[in-house]
Amino acid sequence: MPRDAATSLLRRLTLARFASEVFPRKWRSLGERILLTLLILLFACLGFIPAWRNLNSDFPNYYVVARLYRQGYPLERVYEWVWFQRHADVAGIGRRLVSYIPLTLPSALVISPLSSLPALQAKRCWLLLNLAFMVLTFVLLVRSTKLGSQRVGLLIFLALVPLCSNFLFGQMHVLVLLLLTTAAWLYFEDRFFTSGLTLAVAAALKIYPGLFLIFFLVKKQWQAAAGLVIGTGVAVLLSIHLFGMDACRVYAREVLPFAMRGQIVDPYNVTWGSLSALLARLFIYEPELNSSPVVHLPWLYALLYSLILAVICAMFVWAIRWGKAVDQSRAKIEWASYLFLLLLISSQPAPYHFVSLILPAVLIADYLVGRGQWTRTAVLTGLYALACGSYQWICPTDPTGWKIFLCFPRLLFMLLFGALLLRILVLTAEEPANYRLRSPNSLLSAGAFVALFAITFGGNLRHFRGQFDNYRSRVVTVLGSSMAADPVLTPGEVFFTALVPKFLPLVPDTYAVHELRGGLITSFALGGDWFHPAVGREHDADWAEMATAAGSRIVRFSSAAPLISPADITVEAENAEQPVVSSDGELLAFIREVKGKNSLWIRQTGSRLGRASTMEEHQVVGSQFDVREAAFFPDHRIVFSSRQEGRFRLYDVNPVSGVIEEMSVPTCSARYPAISPNGEWIAFSCEYQGTWQIQVMNLDNKAQLQLTNADCNSVSASWTLDSKGLIYATDCGRGLGFTALARLSLFP
């Protein structure tokens, strides 16, 4: 070939190579830059700007607790729905439903420096801090990988829905992501003890980072495990010091077990998109929250959930190398795989939880790109983006049968992501698969499968025992109802507190007093949240607590007429909560709260609606008793519950003489006393292993009878007029604190 021809051919080949490599890379980079810009604009328009303008939830949850902490309130009651809503009203949150279940107490400390500001201003400061957290996370991810700033930014903002959700609701998962990323970076830099300490800080905010202890033990990283254990111990001791033993005990005994089982805030809600929510929707019937499952077979739920969970965990334990990784790239993908596993098996993950999925996505993409595996990178990135999507538009309003599966596309994409990730872990392992099947790693994974299956299956069966017995004795069933509590009985009527949205759709997120008469429900709420109905002998006079930004007050109204204007209610007592009326309708007892400590007061009621009381109110029990609930005897004596030295006791007080006596029985930690109309019996709830169970006791011979024993809560009992039965609030078969009303019969 002539020299000129060879030179021309070489030039053409060089140009072709340049065109095939440089220009595609240039256009690819331009496409990535355009997509990143678009995602950032969408985040600003759909997430940051609306979050800046509106308070929304869940930021008020943290804000109210932080505010109470700064003001010196004891915090053991923050997990009680009504108590917490009352203080949210006082804090000026507005008509928004708040709940602190199942959030940790230390998570409120993050917001505490902002709690002196008005709520919306505090949220705006928090949003700016979240932007700073995102920048720090971005810097750490760029330093920890070789993807470059553009691709790291693209992977971050592909989690558009989780990020927007986090900002809209003022959640703290961006901070948790920063802590997880910091812990990972420290781990890859061989600073294992500090990595464990950082994860302990993250676990104080959200529990699941604490499960990295299992990862460290499998990897034989004793320093990291020691750091996590020591950090967690310090966090626990600090929590006890800052919040008190009572508050920490309530969380550990009464909240955390329900959270670990996924039995919080409507476990049937399809928006969780989790395995437990899917199986609960398919196989567990609940009259209000899940009235149309495929079949009611709780044992099948327990079997399938335990089996699938054990298989998933055992497979990841087997795929992750037992012992220290031989190189840093393998350490990164194993860390990412374990964090992904924690998100996959989470029982109730909201969209903002998947902010933490950013870290596994970046680490796995870095691993694959470094090996030139572009096809796998594209597939995993696509599954990651799909797992972070929003699919409420697919889910039917009331899914039944096979349509239930339409509500769980995120779970499908997470499972596909996990399957591909497992394949990558196996194919890139140092040892061949047949060797690993005979290795100690297989024994470890088999042991993990057996142990996890046995513990989960046995625990679920025990939890379900007696859980659904109350279904056939429900007093009222309203589809989709969130909560009903505080029942009070009159001839032919039941008054109770419930959340309004299911009854008055035009007034969102409001508690109201409800009357059930002849199968029909009438709601009463005007100017604020209404709690704790009380009814006397006269049918035209009823009482309730009304909570507003000005505080709580006892108002009197007539259930015989609708509430239209403020003229339809009469203020009976200012700065007052939880009204209780004597059986003859002559005396009104109520609670006054000062810095979280309650005193008991009493006054005479008007004989007719509109007449003023003829008796000045006076205190009968001081705040040193911290009164929680009270009830009248027929002779006007009062029984009340009081928290003393970490447990509840029942006391008897004569409002005339003021003499207070502790009741020798019951000996359990007892709350929610109720005296039968004939004065012969007292009903109350006892705490047993973190749950509250109803008991009754004969006041003459002190004989006691336990009426409930399921692994759930039964509280706020009210006697039927013939003293032969009770109506009570129960969260059995529901989420923690999401109570429904049921009936118990004592005598034939």
pTM, to two decimals: 0.91
Section 306-325 average pLDDT: 86
Query: What pLDDT shows up at residue 3?
Result: 53
Identify the bridge partners of residue 719 per DSSP, sorted by sequence position: 726
Section 55-59 average pLDDT: 85
Query: What pLDDT shows up at residue 505?
Result: 41
Instruction: Answer with the residue of higher pLDDT: 537 or 37.
Output: 37
Q: Which of 11-15, 133-137, 523-527, 700-704 has the lowest mean pLDDT?
A: 11-15
Section 220-246 average pLDDT: 95
Q: Which residue has the tokens 């007029």?
A: 721
- Write the pLDDT tens digit of every residue in 381-394: 999 999 999 888 88
Instruction: Answer with the residue of higher pLDDT: 69 or 434.
Output: 69
- Structural element, H or E, at residue 436: helix 433-437
Domains and CATH numbers, the chain: 54-462 (no CATH), 469-492+500-519+664-748 (2.120.10.30)
Distances (CA, A) of 389 to 34, 275, 350, 545: 20, 17, 12, 42
d(CA 406, CA 271): 11
Return the percentage of the chain with pLDDT > 90, whole number: 64
Query: What pLDDT shows up at residue 13?
Result: 43
Q: Which of 243-257, 275-289, 420-434, 592-606 has the lowest mean pLDDT?
A: 420-434
Q: What is the arrangement of strands in the sheet containing 529-535, beginning at the earlier edge strand? A: 529-535, 542-548, 551-557, 570-574
- Write the pLDDT tens digit of every residue in 260-302: 888 888 899 888 889 999 999 999 999 988 988 999 999 999 9
- Write the pLDDT tens digit of every residue in 166-185: 999 999 999 999 999 999 99
* Reported confidence tier of residue 686, pLDDT bands at 50, 70, 90: very high
- Write the pLDDT tens digit of every residue in 479-522: 656 789 999 998 888 999 987 654 444 344 688 899 998 888 88
Farthest CA pair distance, the chain: 123
Query: What pLDDT shows up at residue 50?
Result: 95
d(CA 435, CA 560): 79
Tokens representing residue 88 in the block:
């949210």
Beta strands of 500-585 (E only): which ranges?
511-517, 520-524, 529-535, 542-548, 551-557, 570-574, 577-581
Q: What is the mean pLDDT of the chain?
A: 88
* Reported confidence tier of residue 343, pLDDT bands at 50, 70, 90: very high
- Write the pLDDT tens digit of every residue in 70-128: 999 999 999 999 999 999 998 888 767 788 989 999 999 999 999 999 999 999 999 99
DSSP string, 196-229: HHHHHHHHHHSSGGGGHHHHHHHTT-HHHHHHHH
- Write the pLDDT tens digit of every residue in 563-594: 888 888 989 999 999 999 998 888 999 999 98
Query: What pLDDT shows up at residue 279?
Result: 95
* Reported confidence tier of residue 532, pLDDT bands at 50, 70, 90: very high
pLDDT exceeds 70 at position 538: no
Query: What pLDDT shows up at residue 614?
Result: 47
